[in-house]
Amino acid sequence: MVGTDVSRDWLDIHCLPDGTRLRWPNNDDGHARIASLAAARHALVCFEATGGQEWRLWSNLDTAGIATRQLPPAQIKAFAASRGTRARTDRIDAELIARFMAFRPDAGRRLPHEKLRLLRALTSKRGQLIETRERLVMQIKAPAKLGVDDQFADMDANLKGLLDRQIAEIEAQIKQTIISDDEMFQTAGILRSVSATGPVTVAMLIAEMPEPEQITGEQAAALTGLAPIAHESGALRGKRAIAGGRRSLRHVMFQAALVASHHNPILKTFAQRLQTAGKPHKVIVTAVARKLVTIANALCKSRQKWASQPDREIQLLGLSGFWPIGLPPLKWSSAMFRKTEETDGKQATKAGRDCYEVTAG
């Protein structure tokens, strides 16, 4: 195991199991020396995500055929706290990275392929341009309040026009990148089959959540930052809230959820049920966004499009008209769905949560 702490100028290295410590410059020569070291030891090179400083090293090691893994900094920080390590230096960080990887060999992620990296860069740049345009629009309104907006009208119009053209160019590149890759193009077709998912949502899902074959629906929701985190201990039942996850994807999913709660037949029924139960608007939007993520993950995992397949059980759930082709039909599970309550000495059977289960039959 070769743990590497990557900074702008240096690469601090800690090798396990012998504990060898090295420090090389963060340039092509240093990358080649790490590749030679890892090849000689038949070792895995692991490092933290450090704001993009590690990408050139990652790409060079992948080209050299070295096994690599990128680790989330939050997990390394928690691992350090669990060991009682409070000191923070580059050498200590390199050792923590190596020991964490030895403790959890399945952690981290591998280098995405080149076109996926390009798509991620394009979607990130588009998001930056959108934010810049939004700020510009707000700034344009400020002189209008002072009655001097005519003085800057041409300048503001030119700036906004430039941003509009750049955003259109980026979106064309995103479209071409998806079309040029067979797997991404097929995934895009699957995702677009779901009502309320547009081109922006599809591009962000492909770029920011490329692991549908490896994770469950719950893990996909947590990865997006849409899974409520429990806060319970003993008799305490704290309020659950979402946290963490991939921020840029979560913001896009919120916008898609607003559309889905009005125009997707299934999710509209789901949102109306939550509204009837008295749930706040933000809770409803978050729940719909999570449903969208789990649906998208399930479809990509099964490589099936969302299509019409009416069924009695689906109609009972309010899901008539949409069910993935090829998935097993829903079966009624009365033991899971119904519960008996006793009030004032009388028993009444009430419907509980929607507990239909997918069975092979």
Query: Phi and psi (nearest 5°) for 150?
Result: -65, -30
Beta-carbon contacts of residue 345 (< 8 Å; ≥ 6 apart): none
Short-list 84, 86, 113, 79, CA closest to 3: 79
pLDDT more than 70, % of the chain: 82
Give residue 109's identity as a one-letter amino acid code. R
Least confident of 2-11, 72-81, 124-133, 340-349: 340-349
pLDDT in tens, 148-162: 667 778 888 899 999
Closest alpha carbon to 296 in 190, 208, 185, 174? 190
Q: What digits encode the pLDDT tens for the residues 256-314?
A: 999 999 988 888 999 999 999 999 999 999 999 999 999 998 888 888 888 644 443 34
- Quick check: 93 pLDDT over 70? yes
- State phi, psi for 239 to the nearest 5 degrees: -75, 130
Q: Which residues contact 93 (CB under 8 A, 6 or more apart)?
A: 5, 12, 48, 76
Q: 3-class DSSP state for residue 303?
A: coil
Q: What is the dihedral of CA 15, 17, 20, 23, to 10 degrees?
A: 10
C-alpha atoms less than 13 angstroms from C-alpha of 325 in its C-beta half-sphere: 9
SS3 33: helix
Per DSSP, the three-state class of 358 is strand
24 burial via Cβ count (<10 Å: 0-12, 13-18, 19+): middle
Please name the amino acid found at residue 170.
Answer: I
pLDDT over 60 (residue 97): yes
Per-residue confidence (pLDDT) for residue 341, from 0 to 100: 43
For residue 199, pLDDT over 50 is answered with: yes
Q: How confident is the model at residue 53 (pLDDT cuts 50, 70, 90)?
A: confident
Pairing mode, strands 338-343 and 346-351: antiparallel
Say what the pLDDT of residue 147 is: 65
pLDDT in tens, 313-361: 343 334 434 434 444 443 333 333 333 444 444 444 333 333 333 333 3
- Kindly report, residue by residue over 242-264, the tens digit of the pLDDT: 888 888 899 999 999 999 999 88
- pLDDT confidence tier of residue 212, bands split at 50, 70 and 90: low
The helix (run of H) or strand (run of E) holding residue 192 is helix 182-192
The more confident residue out of 204 and 337 is: 204
Amino acid 22: pLDDT: 93
The predicted-structure confidence for 99-139, as pLDDT tens digits, reads as follows 999 999 988 888 888 888 899 999 999 999 999 999 998 88
Residue range 218-237, pLDDT digits in tens = 888 888 889 888 888 888 88
pLDDT of amino acid 159: 92
What is the radius of gyration, based on Cα positions, of the chain? Answer: 25
